[in-house]
Amino acid sequence: MRRIFVAAAVIVAAAGLAACGSPQATTTSSSTTLAPGSGGGILGASCTNAAIQKYLVHKGQLSVATDNPVYVPWFYANRPENGLGYEAATAYAIAKLLGFSKGQVHWVYEPFDKSYAPGPKNFDFDINEISVTSQRSQAVTFSVGYFNDNQALVVLMKGPVVKNHSPAALKTYTYGDQIGTTSLAYINQYIQPTNQTKVFSTLNDVKEALVTNQIQAFVTDTPTAQYIGSSQTGTLALGQFPSDGEHFGLLLQKGNQLVTCLNKAISHLQANGDLASYQKRFLQSYLTIPTIKP
């Protein structure tokens, strides 16, 4: 996981939309037909709109958190409310299954590294490419996974890593990554570089360190890596690493029983093909990448 900086975000987002089939700027529709406010009973009596009100931060609305800014292909034009992007579409599909109309979904800003800190939350769930880990699960509650993620390596096109990225060579380079991320953990656990990995506050800072030659490579999730490589001059998503079982989950305040209904909603979207459809629509062009070994 994650986070990038894009100077011309709106322009690149438009290009990304074209690459993904030019979706219109409306909420992505789910194949499930429900009456707004009803919940439809499709998830069971305990997950109707009326039944879940006791679990919500604010009754009558679904408070969904994410970072600011947010980026392609998870969101588009830094506007979660437009419903475009894999995570935006997923959030609205879940809301619909829980009986909320689009207007009843309220977006809340939550910085990534604050989201999994212990304590009360001002949102019902956070959707922000947050990888589920045992350490984070001690402080917060996670849903089942809504996206299985691979880590990928971002380098400079003219840097030495492009020519030599064998497992032995990868250990010799200088890396950097965002504090608290599974990407940082992946570098130290799997690549095990001989040079100390540099730690930065945000992935924006990491990317800046790469383009200014402070580091030679960094790791992030595959779709984000591909997007950086396609939008940032001089950078390249060199390849993705084999799966280590990492997946993104919705994050809730520790013990929030709403997670049971969120799990049912995600399972429904998996079973009816909606998640696969969103992946094909928004992520497909960002998932074609060679595999390399750490």
- Residue 20: Cβ-neighbour burial (10 angstroms; 0-12, 13-18, 19+): buried
Collect all residues with Cβ–Cβ distance below 8 Å to 246 and sequence separation of at least 6. Answer: 131, 132, 148, 149, 150, 151, 182
Distance between CA atoms of residues 195 and 213, nearest Å: 15
Collect all residues with Cβ–Cβ distance below 8 Å to 285 and sequence separation of at least 6. Answer: 16, 19, 20, 73, 226
Coil, helix or strand for 21? Answer: coil
Mean pLDDT of 184-198: 97
pLDDT level of residue 12 (50, 70, 90 thresholds): very low
pLDDT above 70 covers what percent of the chain? Answer: 86
For residue 30, the model assigns a pLDDT of: 52
Q: Are 47 and 261 in contact (CB under 8 A)?
A: yes
**Residue 263, both tokens:** 């799990």
Specify the amino acid at residue 88.
Answer: A
- Pick from 31-45, 144-158, 211-225: least confident: 31-45
pLDDT level of residue 187 (50, 70, 90 thresholds): very high
Distance between CA atoms of residues 112 and 258, nearest Å: 21
Query: Residue 32 pLDDT > 90, yes or no?
Result: no
Helix (H) or strand (E) holding 119: none
**Residue 213, both tokens:** 């030659």
- Pick from 26-35, 55-64, 189-198: least confident: 26-35
Q: Are 164 and 217 in contact (CB under 8 A)?
A: no
- Residue 194: Cβ-neighbour burial (10 angstroms; 0-12, 13-18, 19+): exposed
Q: List C-alpha distances in Å: 68 to 4, 10, 40, 111, 252.
A: 11, 14, 32, 7, 18
Q: What is the DSSP letter of 187?
A: I
Collect all residues with Cβ–Cβ distance below 8 Å to 256 and sequence separation of at least 6. Answer: 55, 121, 124, 141
Helix (H) or strand (E) holding 192: none
**Residue 67, both tokens:** 């970072």
Q: What is the DSSP letter of 73?
A: T
Q: Are 222 and 284 in contact (CB under 8 A)?
A: no
Query: Residue 15 pLDDT > 80, yes or no?
Result: no
Distance between CA atoms of residues 119 and 171, nearest Å: 38
**Residue 120, both tokens:** 């009360």
Between these two residues, 36 and 110, which has the higher pLDDT value? 110
Query: Residue 85 pLDDT > 50, yes or no?
Result: yes
Residue matched to tokens 């979904």 = 105
pLDDT level of residue 146 (50, 70, 90 thresholds): very high
Backbone angles phi, psi at 175, to 5 degrees: -115, 160
